[in-house]
């Protein structure tokens, strides 16, 4: 029997890093009961609280498994022990292995179990050598199968040469889409100060890429793996979506989020549904790499949908603003990884309590305690009220 544990130095490091990693998420979780911290409760309950609870749970599970986790090669089976990680596979049920940059996966023939080993286990090379000598490399087999699958697609051409030619065309198209998406994202960032409407490029471009996937005969994917045979348009989605999401989050001040979530959910569901039924990566087989699914469901699909709703609502809004007067009651600065500037404003538009507003450094220096500020309040193109300070 051979027993392997996480190397001692990483167990020691985890004692230090785990508490540090939990601090920001613990802070986010406790924001509503902290004095002098103002936050939109809808954003907190719908996004920040679930994120904090999930991350605290993940960090704690990872910490416990780093300390007590074991991988054992027994007489006729292999197994792992740990928190939510007690799995075993008999030798005659091992289908093969996959070795990635950070993990080693061992899969069963019956598809019931997969053992995932961090590359921080003691004597990692010894484990991998044992697998290489005794079992198949499933990544290599899948690459061969994927290539054969592509060359057998009759809708790509009548001959193998024609199919290879069409495959290379889609591979070039994927590169063009990825580079174009990145260029559009960078160009939008540089030109936003000159025109708010430039953000529409980042909203429209992912739709164009989605259409490219729909009409690619199953060749274009959103698989971020470097060794994937199928051409990926991951960055064509990721880059513009990042700009759309971050601009919505940081630039516009939404007064009421009530009408945001339904529209966001409809767009996200439609977007995600199309990707699922038209993209190989979203075929939920037993051992599909989960990173793409997670990042698209949490960030790209939600981020794009949320960002699109907010940007369209505010950028296309042509309503005449209602003007409210408010008084600066206090000022404060917070410092950490970044410096933030806040003004505490007196209640306006039937608000019951004073609230803090985050502003830029230039305005913070110009505005003094006791000053009167004008708030421009807009109805929103999609009936989502928002405002800005003059």
Average predicted confidence (pLDDT) for the chain: 82
Q: pLDDT class for 281, splitting at 50, 70, 90?
A: very low
Least confident of 18-32, 117-131, 140-154: 140-154
Is residue 282 predicted with pLDDT exceeding 60? no
Both tokens assigned to 384 = 């989502």
* pLDDT confidence of residue 294: 56
The region that residue 154 occupies, defined by phi over 0 for left and psi between -120 and 50 for alpha, beta otherwise, is: alpha
Helices (H), the chain: 8-30, 41-43, 49-68, 124-134, 138-151, 160-191, 199-214, 234-250, 260-278, 291-295, 301-315, 361-366
Instruction: State the pLDDT confidence band at 33, using cuts at 50, 70 and 90.
Output: confident
Q: Are 371 and 343 in contact (CB under 8 A)?
A: no
CATH of domain 322-389: 2.40.50
Q: What is the mean pLDDT of residues 366-371?
A: 87
- How far apart (Å, rounded) are the C-alpha atoms in residues 117 and 103? 6
Nearest to 214 by CA among 279, 164, 272, 283: 279
Q: Report residue 359's pLDDT band, with 50, 70 and 90 as the boundaries.
A: confident
Indicate the domain borders of the chain: 2-134, 154-315, 322-389
Residue with tokens 């064509």: 236
Q: Looking at the predicted structure, is the pLDDT value of residue 38 above 90?
A: no
Asked whether 345 and 373 are in contact (CB, 8 A), the reply is yes
Give phi and psi for 361, each to the nearest 5. Answer: -65, -40
Q: What is the mean pLDDT of residues 350-378?
A: 86
Predicted confidence (pLDDT) at residue 177 exceeds the cutoff of 90: yes
pLDDT at 284: 45
DSSP 6: B
- This prediction's pTM: 0.65
The larger pLDDT score, comparing residue 278 to residue 288, is at 278
pLDDT at 285 over 60: no
Least trusted range by pLDDT, from 19-28, 162-171, 203-212, 236-245: 162-171
- Can you read off the two tokens belonging to residue 135? 């079992």
Contact call for residues 253 and 386 (beta carbons, < 8 A) = yes
Q: 40 pLDDT exceeds 70?
A: no
């Amino acid at each position: 029997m051979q027993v392997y544990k996480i190397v001692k130095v990483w167990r020691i490091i985890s004692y230090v890093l785990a508490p540090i990693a939990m601090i920001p998420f613990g802070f986010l979780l406790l924001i509503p009961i902290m004095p002098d911290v103002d936050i939109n409760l809808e954003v907190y309950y719908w996004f920040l609280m679930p994120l904090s609870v999930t991350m605290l749970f993940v960090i704690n599970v990872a910490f416990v498994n780093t300390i007590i986790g074991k991988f054992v090669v027994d007489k006729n089976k292999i197994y792992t022990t740990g928190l939510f990680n007690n799995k075993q596979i008999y030798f005659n049920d091992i289908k093969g292995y996959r070795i990635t940059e950070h993990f080693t996966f061992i899969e069963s023939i019956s598809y019931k179990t997969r053992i995932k080993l961090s590359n921080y286990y003691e004597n990692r090379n010894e484990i991998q050598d044992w697998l290489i000598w005794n079992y198949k490399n499933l990544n290599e087999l899948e690459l061969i199968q994927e290539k054969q699958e592509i060359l057998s697609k009759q809708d790509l051409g009548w001959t193998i040469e024609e199919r290879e030619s069409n495959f290379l065309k889609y591979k070039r198209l994927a590169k063009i889409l990825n580079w174009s998406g990145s260029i559009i994202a960078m160009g939008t960032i540089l030109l936003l100060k000159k025109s708010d409407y430039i953000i529409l490029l980042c909203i429209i471009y992912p739709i164009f890429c989605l259409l490219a996937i729909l009409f690619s005969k199953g060749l274009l994917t959103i698989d971020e793996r470097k060794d994937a045979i199928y051409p990926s348009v991951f960055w064509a989605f990721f880059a513009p979506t990042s700009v759309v999401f971050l601009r919505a989050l940081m630039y516009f001040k939404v007064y009421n989020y009530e009408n945001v979530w339904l529209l966001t959910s409809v767009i996200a569901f439609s977007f995600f549904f199309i990707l699922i039924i038209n993209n190989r990566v979203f075929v939920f087989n037993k051992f599909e790499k989960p990173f793409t699914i997670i990042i698209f469901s949490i960030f790209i699909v939600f981020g794009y949908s949320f960002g699109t709703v907010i940007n369209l609502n505010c950028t296309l809004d042509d309503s005449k603003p209602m003007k409210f007067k408010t008084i600066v009651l206090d000022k404060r600065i917070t410092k950490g990884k970044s410096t933030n500037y806040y003004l505490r404003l007196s209640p306006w538009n039937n608000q019951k309590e004073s609230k803090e507003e985050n502003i830029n450094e230039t305005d913070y220096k110009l505005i003094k305690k006791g000053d009167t500020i004008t708030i421009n309040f807009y109805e929103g193109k999609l009936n989502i009220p928002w405002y800005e300070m003059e």
